[in-house]
Amino acid sequence: MNTSSVITKYYESERLCRCGENKPNQTQLQTQRLSKLFLAFTFLCPSYNLAMQAWTIQKLLNWITEYLTERSIDSPRLSAELLLSGVLETKRIELYTQFDKPVDKRQLDKLHDLVKRAGQNEPVAYLIGKTEFYSLELNITADCMIPRPETELLVQRAIEFLRTRPGTQLVCDLCTGSGCIAVAIAKNFPDARIIATDICDAALNVAAGNVEKHQLKDRIKLLHGDLFDPIISGLDVGKFDLIVCNPPYVSAAEYEKLDKNVKDYEPKSALFAGADGLDIYRRLIEKVDEFLKPDAALMLEIGYAQGRAVRELLEQTGAFAEIKIEKDPHNNDRIATARRISS
């Protein structure tokens, strides 16, 4: 199979899966239902399944997609591909070059467990232990929040800002979690030296793994503690060119309404920030001035309707010459940028 036919197959299958095209007639529907029942039985009863039929990559991909679709799991085709490529330890695109390859018993057993758990809303990133952020592969465990695509906008703005400044740039990433922001900035801006802090030791272990994975140990230092507390002036860098932070910002009311796959699996300490969701911003903004160089910037990820409240908190400090609230592509408040006055 050549590359273009693989890619055509990849997109074609994605399109059919999403759009539900080629609608079948009643007889075809009945046959499909019976065959789905049989497949469900064989897949969920591993011993029978293994004895009786060979599961190829294509068959598995289709079946897992349907299984997850029926359970209203987000992006079922993508999830199926991630689960399968995770278990087979291969790239997603490579699944499409090996459609007819049978999957062996050991892998099938592992997949069987993961698919069931995905069907019960457990996030795929936790199941396969990795995710992609800013085009980088990162390790993930349930100790840290799964990096979100929205946060890539914060990274983009941070890199743009750093590129306007000459020489080595000192950056602080508060609430680093998996280390996604620090790693993405360091990978894309070689002159950055970064201190990243988090209150959760287990999350910092994940960050340490990611720093090592991307060979950034000489440029990212991880510290354990509450916001700026672990930074020891004199020993560590005292003042930064840029401080970035994606803190917990979910309010009490929002927390109750979170989707099951978030509320039941992601750490509450990574999400919840008091009655109005502003607790961490208040404490951070109160102290931030002493850690910023003149003309340095603070960049915060914020909740979809927190722009006004965060702007007010920043204005009250009197430390910033310029404050900007930026919306994301879904028209939600997303990034607050504040430029410290230059003297």
**Does 76 participate in binding ligand SAM (rule CB under 6 A)?**
no
Tell which one of 269, 276, 324, 339 touches ligand SAM (CB under 6 A): 269
**Does 197 participate in binding ligand SAM (rule CB under 6 A)?**
yes
**b (16+ CB within 10 A) / e for 179-215:** bbbbbbbbbbbebbbbbbbbbbeebbbbbbbbbeebe
Tell which one of 76, 86, 147, 303 touches ligand SAM (CB under 6 A): 147
HSE (CB half, 13 Å, CA atoms) of 325? 18
- Decide: 275 and 309 in contact? Cβ < 8 Å: no
Least distance CB 188 / ligand SAM (angstroms): 16
Q: Which stretch binds ligand SAM (CB under 6 A): 9-17, 20-28, 111-119, 173-181?
A: 173-181
Listed in order, strand segments (DSSP E) in 69-181 are 130-133, 136-139, 169-174
Q: Sort 283 into a burial class: Cβ within 10 Å, 0-12 / 13-18 / 19+.
A: middle
- Cα-based distances in Å from 25 to 13, 29, 36: 20, 6, 16
CA distance 130 to 46: 26
State how beta strands 240-245 and 220-224 pair: unpaired
Element spanning 198, H or E: strand 192-198
Count of residues of this chain found to bind ligand SAM when the rule CB under 6 A is applied: 22
CA distance 155 to 157: 6
CB closer to ligand SAM, 87 vs 125 = 125
**Does 176 participate in binding ligand SAM (rule CB under 6 A)?**
yes
Please provide the size of the chain in residues: 343
Least distance CB 315 / ligand SAM (angstroms): 23
**Does 42 participate in binding ligand SAM (rule CB under 6 A)?**
no
Least distance CB 150 / ligand SAM (angstroms): 9
Which residues 6+ apart lie within 8 Å of 279 measured at CB? 248, 273
**Does 185 participate in binding ligand SAM (rule CB under 6 A)?**
no
Q: Which of residues 212-241 bind ligand SAM (CB under 6 A)?
A: 226-227
Tell which one of 57, 68, 128, 175 touches ligand SAM (CB under 6 A): 175
**Does 243 participate in binding ligand SAM (rule CB under 6 A)?**
no
**Does 270 participate in binding ligand SAM (rule CB under 6 A)?**
yes
CA distance 246 to 177: 9
CB closer to ligand SAM, 144 vs 336 = 144
**Does 151 participate in binding ligand SAM (rule CB under 6 A)?**
yes
Least distance CB 172 / ligand SAM (angstroms): 11
Least distance CB 34 / ligand SAM (angstroms): 44
**Does 248 participate in binding ligand SAM (rule CB under 6 A)?**
yes
Tell which one of 6, 40, 142, 199 touches ligand SAM (CB under 6 A): 199
Tell which one of 177, 277, 303, 307 touches ligand SAM (CB under 6 A): 177
Q: Which residues bind ligand SAM (CB under 6 A)?
A: 144-145, 147, 151, 175-178, 180-181, 197-200, 203, 226-227, 246-248, 269-270
